[in-house]
Amino acid sequence: MKPRVMILLGSASDFRIAEKAMEIFEELRIPYDLRVASAHRTHEKVKAIVSESIKEGVEVFIGIAGLSAHLPGMISANTHRPVIGVPVDVKLGGLDALFACSQMPFPAPVATVGVDRGENAAILAAQIIGIGDPEVRDRVSELRRGFYEKVRRDECQVLNSIE
Amino acid sequence: MKPRVMILLGSASDFRIAEKAMEIFEELRIPYDLRVASAHRTHEKVKAIVSESIKEGVEVFIGIAGLSAHLPGMISANTHRPVIGVPVDVKLGGLDALFACSQMPFPAPVATVGVDRGENAAILAAQIIGIGDPEVRDRVSELRRGFYEKVRRDECQVLNSIE
Amino acid sequence: MKPRVMILLGSASDFRIAEKAMEIFEELRIPYDLRVASAHRTHEKVKAIVSESIKEGVEVFIGIAGLSAHLPGMISANTHRPVIGVPVDVKLGGLDALFACSQMPFPAPVATVGVDRGENAAILAAQIIGIGDPEVRDRVSELRRGFYEKVRRDECQVLNSIE
Amino acid sequence: MKPRVMILLGSASDFRIAEKAMEIFEELRIPYDLRVASAHRTHEKVKAIVSESIKEGVEVFIGIAGLSAHLPGMISANTHRPVIGVPVDVKLGGLDALFACSQMPFPAPVATVGVDRGENAAILAAQIIGIGDPEVRDRVSELRRGFYEKVRRDECQVLNSIE
Amino acid sequence: MKPRVMILLGSASDFRIAEKAMEIFEELRIPYDLRVASAHRTHEKVKAIVSESIKEGVEVFIGIAGLSAHLPGMISANTHRPVIGVPVDVKLGGLDALFACSQMPFPAPVATVGVDRGENAAILAAQIIGIGDPEVRDRVSELRRGFYEKVRRDECQVLNSIE
Amino acid sequence: MKPRVMILLGSASDFRIAEKAMEIFEELRIPYDLRVASAHRTHEKVKAIVSESIKEGVEVFIGIAGLSAHLPGMISANTHRPVIGVPVDVKLGGLDALFACSQMPFPAPVATVGVDRGENAAILAAQIIGIGDPEVRDRVSELRRGFYEKVRRDECQVLNSIE
Amino acid sequence: MKPRVMILLGSASDFRIAEKAMEIFEELRIPYDLRVASAHRTHEKVKAIVSESIKEGVEVFIGIAGLSAHLPGMISANTHRPVIGVPVDVKLGGLDALFACSQMPFPAPVATVGVDRGENAAILAAQIIGIGDPEVRDRVSELRRGFYEKVRRDECQVLNSIE
Amino acid sequence: MKPRVMILLGSASDFRIAEKAMEIFEELRIPYDLRVASAHRTHEKVKAIVSESIKEGVEVFIGIAGLSAHLPGMISANTHRPVIGVPVDVKLGGLDALFACSQMPFPAPVATVGVDRGENAAILAAQIIGIGDPEVRDRVSELRRGFYEKVRRDECQVLNSIE
């Protein structure tokens, strides 16, 4: 199945953050692909992956990176598709990566989610895809409902533990 | 024309940031609407605007807010549509609002752009809408090309000024 | 016994912070209740808990949350009762939650205590209740006196250890 | 009329922040008093004011201070009444005062509101007093309703300006 | 022997930082004393210790505290002797305590050293005492010389390890 | 009269901060001297000034500097006299200079006061000198008493203004 | 004359920072060139300028940029020549740009200088060029000597002003 | 072989950061030397090492230091050779050292790399040396190519692990 989301990792060590997104995409049955390609190391490759991905029908990009975290911004510079950035905490609590993702100048925005929040990046990607795809939208609703159920069960467990 | 983007302001004083987005939407011919409705002050209203907007066909929300900046997060909690957050610098250089927008927990992401970056929020909204609307996509490309032209002209002016 | 304080957790994982408050309430014999209900996940529920709590006579609310930490602010938006916020350190040393709690706009204040300081939230709640309840006030005095005794004993132990 | 709230200023230069609180107290018809008495400069006086205030029936204290901002904490150390702290932006964007107010150790909490937010301190004080005083509670509700009206009018003005 | 330096701890848990100072004082043969007495918990005691210490001939005070860290400032408010502050890292990397110590208003300075730097507080105290006591001054010189020797030996060890 | 305090400026542009200290020294009748000599620019000179100053009887040094603010640390490395550091706000709100002054390693402490607080540096210097000089000590007490008087007058003025 | 340094601006609005560098290069008689080419907007151009510059003999690059400030990092990714980064204060005091420049991952370093420090970037470039060019090295020495002279004259002026 | 790079450590405990640089220099066959000599502790030695190093032909200096991190700045003040600074995370996430290295005043720049990034300092030193030495330049290219190969292999491993 053709990928609708392309996940790019700045470094193989960021894979643990990508896995959080992948789990959500599995649950929402959204096909995705994944590459490792740092903005600073193999920029030609970033560009190639982006243009190739677009031809294959990728609708949303997710860039996951720590430190200077240029990867999401570089993807944004190479496409008119929306780009989601996940700042990774490598140093300084992830503040460097959070700033690098969010503080992008005009007209190359990066849709930044929280530090290490791969799973929220996936939800956001699904919401974006869901605009034109009611089935995905329904699955996001379902996932959220399920999550609320879990919150409720957690509460019961907590409440039981204190009685 | 029915709005495709709903801009919500946390306070009327944030209007100067909204104007940056509105200018871009005019240029891209994307119909939008605008409301003032703080998350902390009139939350019922936020919810009403959101569900009404969805019925009217709004595809993307933009929440603009400073300080604790709960507005984008609250919109996100009330819809499965993508929500873009623009942190506004009221105090602490806007760091409080940047954290409030980006650091959202699962599963209620806010697509955060830079501090005071209303114009980037508009580009991001257009990129999202552009997935299903090639005309909007083309207009984003055109706008970017035009901007690059401007960058080039700025350079000429700068270079001329130093010769 | 009817609860005079309602503790709301943004997530079951914040329970360890709530326990610090619960211990103090036990000691001060102030009846309390506890719920898990994130602002971003189950906002309807937050509202329901708040209005129900008020009917049952709850005098003070405590919201415990990390990250964007909208929960205390959302409670504040739904009641004219005082709301205490406890920022939890999940990321960025808790700076995000500290800002989200304290930097609330007019007229929805959150009485913010220190990062992870569930026990101080309980003292503050007791001080607030104590305005109209001399017995609670006396018990707060007693608890503080006891604590000072402990400080003195700690000092003796430290001083003995260095002689 | 006997004051129910005592406002203490760390320095006469913080008076502009106190005025925001005073305006709200006037509107809510809550009698208050005001003193200038830095924690570091005239601590004896702080203590004297606090114990005298309590005898006169003061229910809530508000400490307004910048920089190291010990004043609210020092009041808290001298009373079992609730103490609200307003951090003032003198240097570092007010971050120093925000930390000094909020990060109080056990068992001397300060109910911290946002940087320079004298008006929110007043609302919080009124909410606390309102627990035992339904009239004050009603006036807080009214003030909030009035404020929401203003938000709505601001919106109309903004919306009119863009048509 | 009468103490020339009084070390005050905000909490018994800060003892590990005090030990660093005590070790230096032992080496420099400067008599010192130590008390546990938080500014927020037992302020009367802080004041009593300070005035008693001065009568006994204490020349310099060291206040060691974390979080809001009012202790050094409170000592400063109670004496005209110089007060050294050691911010302790309890939360936020110790930034809260560093600000609370250093950002004191006029005319109550705290001579702030680095986060957790008990040993530097002792050196500073010895330098201050050394102004009027050539023997202490010589011992500080000696200690520093010994330290430089150690640095040199460390270097040798490092250099040997790489050959 | 021989100077007892040597004030070193990192840059002539820091003179406005030095003036605050000078005013206090005039009031306390403590002779001082002043030099401009950046640590990074004319380090030989810093060293020469320091050793010459000591020969002339200087008891305390004050280093005033912004940015990387090595000057106070460099003075500290060249003398066993106490060194007071005044961080100046040139960039980043003075955070860079505050860290550079306070975070000195063992055994070269800098007695750091608040950002731009030249007047507190002077008080601290006077407190240090006052250990061995009862007259200076008395003048510091007097200055503080005068300041408290001023605080009281400010209060009267503020209180009168609101009646 | 062929440029030995290529200055790239992220935006024409950063020209005021470039001018500081240009002034130094004029004084040191080091030929330079200047372009405006944001990393996020015209990345193809950045690459073209870099490879063309290298062919023309450029030895050092200077990237000047604010916000996410990817420009210096992108230059670094396209050349094995040393790249100097000048973070510009546009938002957050320039902290975002400082992190973006300095926190580059392996193996694409950016030699970062202080926020808005165009003149230091020029000195650093001259020091680098000076390794292989004794004349440039001598001119840097001369410039520094001249600067020290100026510091001395500033001191005289300051000292005269206080007598 | 005569060293072309001199690595100075602020403290023997920073050796683990130096090792990252040393490994790169071994791979690039650039002769280097290493010393331990804190700016604040043995400044005479720093100066002696620097002038001796220059006589022996050292082209680039690397200063590695934490906390106030004056070492790189002090080297810069003693030479016209380029100086690279590596801030080490000892406290505050390394923010203190990052500011101390980068925020140097005119005309004493420090080429600052990321927190704990010894390996990037080595790459930068090699790029600087490479200007006049094509063999070193080629080896840097080779090292980078090899690194890109590794990135590609990491990707394969990651991709394989998810299939």
Structure confidence at residue D158 as a pLDDT band (50, 70, 90): confident
- Give the mean model confidence (pLDDT) for residues H42-47: 81
Q: Given CB atoms, is D131 within the 8 Å cutoff of chain B?
A: no
Interface contact C70-B103, CB threshold 8 A: no
User: Half-sphere exposure of residue C133, counting CA atoms within 13 Å on the CB side?
Assistant: 17
Of G94, G151, G158, the CB nearest to F15: G158
* C56 to chain E, closest Cα gap in Å: 35
pLDDT at C42 over 80: no
Contact F136, F126 (CB under 8 A): yes
- Give the mean model confidence (pLDDT) for residues D128-152: 93
pLDDT at A1: 77
Of H9, H42, H91, the CB nearest to E148: H42
Of B68, B92, B104, the CB nearest to C67: B104
Close Cβ partners of C127 (under 8 Å, ≥ 6 residues apart): C137, C140, D80, D81, D82, D83, D109
Burial bucket for residue D86 (CB in 10 Å: 0-12, 13-18, 19+) = buried
Close Cβ partners of E116 (under 8 Å, ≥ 6 residues apart): E17, E86, E87, E88, E89, E94, H91
H100: tokens are 């101390």
Q: Average pLDDT of chain C?
A: 93
Contacts of E15 in chain C (CB under 8 A): 158
Q: Average pLDDT of chain G?
A: 93
Amino acid residing at C153: R
Q: Give the percent of chain C with pLDDT over 70.
A: 97
G105: tokens are 């991952």
Q: pLDDT by residue (tens digit) across B46-65?
A: 889 999 999 999 999 999 99
Sheet holding G5-9, edge to edge: G32-36, G5-9, G60-66, G83-88, G111-112, H111-112, H83-88, H60-66, H5-9, H32-36
Q: What is the ipTM of this complex?
A: 0.96
Contact B49, B21 (CB under 8 A): no
pLDDT at G40 over 70: no
Q: Give the percent of chain F with pLDDT over 90.
A: 79
Query: Distance between CA atoms of B148 and B160, rounded to whole angstroms?
Result: 18
Task: Identify the bridge partners of residue D34 per DSSP, sorted by sequence position.
Answer: D7
* CA H32 remoteness from chain centre: 11
A87: tokens are 């700042």
Q: Average pLDDT of chain H?
A: 93
pLDDT at H163: 64
Q: Given CB atoms, is E90 within the 8 Å cutoff of chain C?
A: no
Interface contact A89-C91, CB threshold 8 A: yes
Of C38, C67, C104, the CB nearest to B68: C104
Q: Give the percent of chain D with pLDDT over 90.
A: 79
Task: Identify the bridge partners of residue C61 per DSSP, sorted by sequence position.
Answer: C6, C83
DSSP alpha helices (H): ranges in chain B?
15-28, 43-55, 71-77, 95-102, 118-130, 134-162
Interface contact E35-C155, CB threshold 8 A: yes
Count of beta carbons in the 10 Å neighbourhood of residue F141: 12
Interface contact D94-B92, CB threshold 8 A: yes
Write the secondary structure of H124-135 as one string of H (helix), E (strand) and C (coil).
Answer: HHHHHHHCCCHH
Q: pLDDT by residue (tens digit) across B107-117?
A: 999 999 999 99
Interchain contact H/G (3 or more Cβ pairs less than 8 Å): yes
pLDDT at F41 over 70: no
Q: pLDDT by residue (tens digit) across D32-44?
A: 999 988 766 667 7
DSSP alpha helices (H): ranges in chain A?
15-28, 43-55, 71-77, 95-102, 118-130, 134-161
- CATH for the stretch B5-138: 3.40.50.1970
Kindly give the interhelix angle for E15-28 and E134-161, rounded to the nearest 10 degrees. Answer: 110
Interface test with C, best of A155, A160, A163 (most C CBs within 10 A): A155
Q: pLDDT by residue (tens digit) across E77-90?
A: 899 999 999 999 99
Interface contact F12-G148, CB threshold 8 A: no
Sheet holding D60-66, edge to edge: C32-36, C5-9, C60-66, C83-88, C111-112, D111-112, D83-88, D60-66, D5-9, D32-36
Q: Return the C-alpha torsion angle E5, E6, E7, E11, nearest 10.
A: 180
Instruction: Tell me how many degrees the CA angle E145-E151-E154 measures, rounded to the nearest 5.
Output: 145
pLDDT at D163: 64
Q: Give the percent of chain H with pLDDT over 70.
A: 97
Q: Given CB atoms, is H149 within the 8 Å cutoff of chain A?
A: no
Of G102, G106, G108, the CB nearest to H102: G102
DSSP reduced 3-state for C32: strand
Q: Do strands F83-88 and E5-9 pair parallel, antiparallel, or not at all (unpaired)? A: unpaired
Interface contact B77-C10, CB threshold 8 A: no
Count of beta carbons in the 10 Å neighbourhood of residue E109: 31
pLDDT at F161: 79
Task: Identify the bridge partners of residue F63 per DSSP, sorted by sequence position.
Answer: F8, F85
Distance, first Cα to last Cα, chain B = 51
Structure confidence at residue A151 as a pLDDT band (50, 70, 90): confident
Determine the longest span between alpha carbons in chain C, in angstroms: 61
Query: Distance between CA atoms of D146 and D148, rounded to whole angstroms?
Result: 5
pLDDT at A163: 65
pLDDT at B126 over 80: yes
pLDDT at C102: 98
Query: Distance between CA atoms of F61 and F79, rounded to whole angstroms?
Result: 9
* B78 to chain G, closest Cα gap in Å: 31
Q: Which of residues E159 and A12 earns the better pLDDT score?
A: A12
Distance, first Cα to last Cα, chain G = 51
Contact D78, E43 (CB under 8 A): yes
- Give the mean model confidence (pLDDT) for residues A2-18: 95
Interface contact C36-A158, CB threshold 8 A: yes
Query: Distance between CA atoms of H80 and H68, rounded to whole angstroms?
Result: 22
Of F67, F101, F102, the CB nearest to H105: F67
Q: What is the DSSP letter of D133?
A: -
Contact B38, B90 (CB under 8 A): no
Q: Which of C37-41, D99-103, E7-11 is predicted with the least confidence, judged by mean pLDDT?
A: C37-41
Query: Distance between CA atoms of G60 and G32, rounded to whole angstroms?
Result: 10
Bond into F107 cis (ω within 30) = yes
pLDDT at B132: 96
C-alpha distances out from residue F102 to D133, E21, F73, H67, Å: 49, 16, 9, 9
Contacts of D92 in chain F (CB under 8 A): 93-95, 115
Contact A64, A88 (CB under 8 A): yes
User: Contact partners of C by the rule of 3+ C-beta pairs under 8 A?
Assistant: A, B, D, E
Contact D69, D10 (CB under 8 A): yes
- Give the mean model confidence (pLDDT) for residues G152-156: 82
pLDDT at C160: 84
pLDDT at G152 over 90: no
Of B102, B127, B129, the CB nearest to A102: B102
Q: Given CB atoms, is E93 within the 8 Å cutoff of chain D?
A: no
pLDDT at D40: 63
Q: What are phi and psi of A84, to 5 degrees?
A: -100, 135
Structure confidence at residue B41 as a pLDDT band (50, 70, 90): low
Kindly give the interhelix angle for G118-130 and G134-161, rounded to the nearest 10 degrees. Answer: 140
* C33 to chain B, closest Cα gap in Å: 24
Interface contact C127-D59, CB threshold 8 A: no
Distance, first Cα to last Cα, chain E = 51
Query: Distance between CA atoms of D155 and H17, rounded to whole angstroms?
Result: 57
Q: Do strands B83-88 and B111-112 pair parallel, antiparallel, or not at all (unpaired)? A: parallel
Contacts of E148 in chain F (CB under 8 A): none
* B26 to chain G, closest Cα gap in Å: 21
Bond into C107 cis (ω within 30) = yes
Interface contact H106-G115, CB threshold 8 A: no
pLDDT at H52 over 70: yes
Contact F67, F101 (CB under 8 A): no
Query: Distance between CA atoms of A8 and A110, rounded to whole angstroms?
Result: 14
DSSP reduced 3-state for G17: helix
Contact A39, A74 (CB under 8 A): yes
pLDDT at F163: 64
C84: tokens are 């205490």
Give the CATH fold of the A5-161 domain. Rossmann fold (3.40.50)
Q: Do strands H60-66 and B83-88 pair parallel, antiparallel, or not at all (unpaired)? A: unpaired
Q: Given CB atoms, is D144 within the 8 Å cutoff of chain E?
A: no
* CA H25 remoteness from chain centre: 10
Contact A37, A46 (CB under 8 A): yes
Identify the residue whose tokens are 């752009």: B113
pLDDT at H41 over 80: no
pLDDT at G163 over 70: no
Q: Which of residues D68 and D155 earns the better pLDDT score?
A: D68
Of A95, A103, A108, the CB nearest to G41: A108
Count of beta carbons in the 10 Å neighbourhood of residue A143: 18
pLDDT at C163: 64
Q: Which of residues H21 and A12 earns the better pLDDT score?
A: H21
Q: Which residues of chain E have pLDDT under 50?
A: none
C-alpha distances out from residue D36 to D10, D41, D79, F107, F148, Å: 6, 11, 18, 41, 11
Q: What are phi and psi of A106, to 5 degrees?
A: -70, 145
pLDDT at C58: 98
pLDDT at A161: 80
Interface test with D, best of F154, F160, F161, F163 (most D CBs within 10 A): F154
Structure confidence at residue G65 as a pLDDT band (50, 70, 90): very high
Q: Given CB atoms, is F158 within the 8 Å cutoff of chain D?
A: yes
Q: pLDDT by residue (tens digit) across C97-142?
A: 999 999 999 999 999 999 999 999 999 999 999 999 999 999 999 9
Amino acid residing at H112: T
Count of beta carbons in the 10 Å neighbourhood of residue C153: 12
Interface contact F162-D9, CB threshold 8 A: no
